[in-house]
Structure 1
Amino acid sequence: MEWQEFSGSWVLTPPHPLGIIHFLGGAFVATAPHITYRWLLEKLARQGYIIIATSFLNTLDHKAIAVNVQNRLENILYRLEYKQGIDINYLPIYGLGHSMGCKLHLLIGSLLKVERAGNILISFNNYPFKKAIPFAENIIPYLQDNIKNYLQLEANLDIDFTPTPIETNIIIKENYHIRRNLLIKFSDDTIDQTLELHPILKQLHPNMITALQLSGNHLTPLGQDIDWEMGGQLFSPIAGISQWFQDNFSRDLYNLYQQISRWLNPCPDVGF
């Protein structure tokens, strides 16, 4: 299997797919999800899932981003079915999000009429603008240049994301229709807000919500040991991040993959 790029999304297609996973990553690392989340996504593809990892640029209008990534997903599904001959009609579609990607999947499942077999929400983050940007600067110092413009805006304007965190919670409470959800929180994640999201979803779908706390931190889903140098030039803006991730992540990352895999296929075939 090799990654294919379709209209800004990256796709992995196993030979005999069991389902489809639409992946949305965290802010500032979502521009190249096939690289930043490569290990996890490729493991899920080898399990039999078509991976559609949609890149996006973070802006203040999260509702517009959610609509855009969903429209791009539908275009890719059309391409897979009618141009590549893959019968997707009977394949379950799952949303998989990390950090801001969780918020986008929640907005998609609240504001748009989509069919999902379930959503997997890792390290949900719904902070207001003034908290979210400094957190990103502190956690991923290699990306300081990328968020400089946001910090300048913050110094001069009283602005926030659209919808705001409060508005987002209201939208979810009133409209979220994806019944089956897996919520994952890491033990050393200081910016995770899963504990606030869990009761909202539990009230909507009491018997369909699974919540787990795993060892790791906010960056665990990005852990991998890869060569970040491509064609003699370092991949920017994430070139320096490799040093940040390579140590002590493999065990937590593999456990994350196992829990996702178990939730996707809770009753695997048993040989006799």
Structure 2
Amino acid sequence: MAAAHLFCSAPAAYRAANPRPLATRGRANPATGTYLVLKGVWCSCAHFPRATPSRRFFPCRASLSPDGSLAMLGAPSPRMAPPMRKPYMREHSCLIFPPPRGRRPLAVIKFLGGAFIGAVPEVTYGYLLELLALEGFVVVCVPYNVTFDHEAAAREVFQSFHACYDALLASGLPEAGLSALDIAELPLYSVGHSNGALLQLLVGSYFSERIPEANAIVSFNNRPASEAVPYFEQIGPLFRQLMPMMEASPVYSMARNASGYAWKALFDLAGGLLREYDQEATVSLSKFIDQLPSVMNQVSEGVSEFKPTPPENREFCKNSYSVPNTLLVKFTVDAIDDTDIVEDVLRPRVDSIGGQIKKVILSGTHLTPCIQDVKWQVGSEYTPADAIAQGLKSLALSETRVLSRTIADWFTSL
């Protein structure tokens, strides 16, 4: 079992109330008053300041278990309120954000997030997804891994979604008070952001059955690898040269294993700060972590471009896109948005199948769908910095709310 123990100097009040001396293991760092023991390996913690009267440090011990969780034991603290019920549930590999209990749902939304961050939508898109659920939608998020093969990714999310959707059609969603019949009567729509927007278009082009009645395409982006990943043309050959040496080194294997534990440990620590912490979210986090070596391996194997290429995707959607209703959303500040290009590609096709396409421009940035309602902690005195931070947060959240309402209004108008 890998274990890490961290001890910090305790305030005098705590020492007086706890006369029993703390057990010590390992060597102390005399420059900082702290020490760290990692299963027999001493590590310097120079970045931790020495405890002073102006800082509140408490003795703590952290243990990193083989499953990557980080348990912390520390000084007694006031009893915390029980955590709020998480706003989503899991079905197969998907996450479901249901509407408020007792409210008749309007539709089922299949949601795909952007590259990398789409693997943990409960963390990266939680606020937007909750807003859509509050509007009355059953939002089904499909996590997926990044790959240079967009066709394979599109087919994977199609299969993953329908495995979850079929389960809902068979059993309903009892936790949300929805029967199978309730689900079966709902129309199916989809929302995609950035790379997820591309995958939604590809799903609507590769398949002609069991596809949504409408798509909301937000911040569409599909550029060549050399543009999507700056300096990719230089990075690719470098990886190919270095990978044999990296893989031959025992440090490489150790680093890959340790990185997973480290990420999960940090996630466990951050979990105490998240309003709706889900222990099962480590499953999504593991998928997020696992993407990195997978992408590195593809680069080292000589992959130099997305498959199909962006021009091939445009040509295929131009001839095969089958979703009749499409909303295109772009933001005022977004240097990597390709919405105008995809509008020119889709409009003739949508007109030919008797559908409709609408484009809107909203205030915001490429990351507006990812804005979270993080609680800003004001100090003992309300400062100008607090006012600025809260003002910026309020503006960003407002833009995300406008996005949610725009999508909801579009779907309900159909």
> Given the two structures, how large is their TM-score scaled by the length of structure 2?
0.54
Name the residue aligned to 1:9: 94
8 Å CA contact 1:130–1:154 kept in 2: the answer is no
- Distance, in Å, in 1 between the alignment partners of 2:130 and 2:328 is 21
221, 225, 233: which one pairs with 1:125? Answer: 221
**1:216 alignment partner, SS class:** strand
Name the residue aligned to 2:134: 46
1:6 Cα deviation from its structure 2 partner: 2.0
79, 99, 121: which one pairs with 1:33? Answer: 121
Based on CA coordinates, which of the two structures has the bigger radius of gyration? 2
201, 205, 216: which one pairs with 1:110? Answer: 205
Name the residue aligned to 2:185: 90
Bigger shift: residues 188-197 or 37-46: 37-46
Identify if the C-alpha distance between structure 1 residues 203 and 150 changes in structure 2 by more than 3 Å, giving closer, same or farther: same
**2:117 alignment partner, SS class:** coil
Give identity over the alignment, percent.
31
- Distance, in Å, in 1 between the alignment partners of 2:218 and 2:371 is 14
1:208 Cα deviation from its structure 2 partner: 0.5
1:246 Cα deviation from its structure 2 partner: 5.0
- Distance, in Å, in 1 between the alignment partners of 2:203 and 2:186 is 19
Bigger shift: residues 214-223 or 250-259: 250-259
- Distance, in Å, in 2 between the alignment partners of 1:81 and 1:132 is 38
8 Å CA contact 1:133–1:147 kept in 2: the answer is no
Superposition pairs for residues 109-258 of structure 1, below 5 Å?
109-112=204-207, 113-134=209-230, 150=295, 157=302, 159-206=304-351, 208-226=356-374, 246=393, 248-258=395-405
- Distance, in Å, in 1 between the alignment partners of 2:150 and 2:300 is 21
Please give the root-mean-square deviation of Cα atoms over the aligned residues, in Å.
2.7
- Distance, in Å, in 2 between the alignment partners of 1:264 and 1:103 is 19
> Given the two structures, how large is their TM-score scaled by the length of structure 1?
0.81
Identify if the C-alpha distance between structure 1 residues 57 and 152 changes in structure 2 by more than 3 Å, giving closer, same or farther: closer
- Distance, in Å, in 1 between the alignment partners of 2:160 and 2:224 is 26
CA-to-partner distance for each residue in 1:177-211, whole Å, 9 max, x for gaps?
A: 10100000111100000010001111112360110
Identify if the C-alpha distance between structure 1 residues 33 and 126 changes in structure 2 by more than 3 Å, giving closer, same or farther: same
4+ residue segments displaced more than 3 Å: 146-158, 245-248
- Distance, in Å, in 1 between the alignment partners of 2:299 and 2:333 is 28
Q: Where does the alignment leave 5 or more consecutive residues of structure 2 unmatched?
A: 1-85, 173-178, 233-287, 376-391
**2:360 alignment partner, SS class:** strand
**1:73 alignment partner, SS class:** helix
Identify if the C-alpha distance between structure 1 residues 40 and 151 changes in structure 2 by more than 3 Å, giving closer, same or farther: same
1:133 Cα deviation from its structure 2 partner: 2.1
8 Å CA contact 2:87–2:130 kept in 1: the answer is no
- Distance, in Å, in 1 between the alignment partners of 2:119 and 2:231 is 19
**1:119 alignment partner, SS class:** strand
Name the residue aligned to 2:284: none
1:148 Cα deviation from its structure 2 partner: 8.4
8 Å CA contact 2:147–2:295 kept in 1: the answer is no
Aligned length: 243
Q: Where does the alignment leave 5 or more consecutive residues of structure 1 unmatched?
A: 137-142, 228-244, 268-272
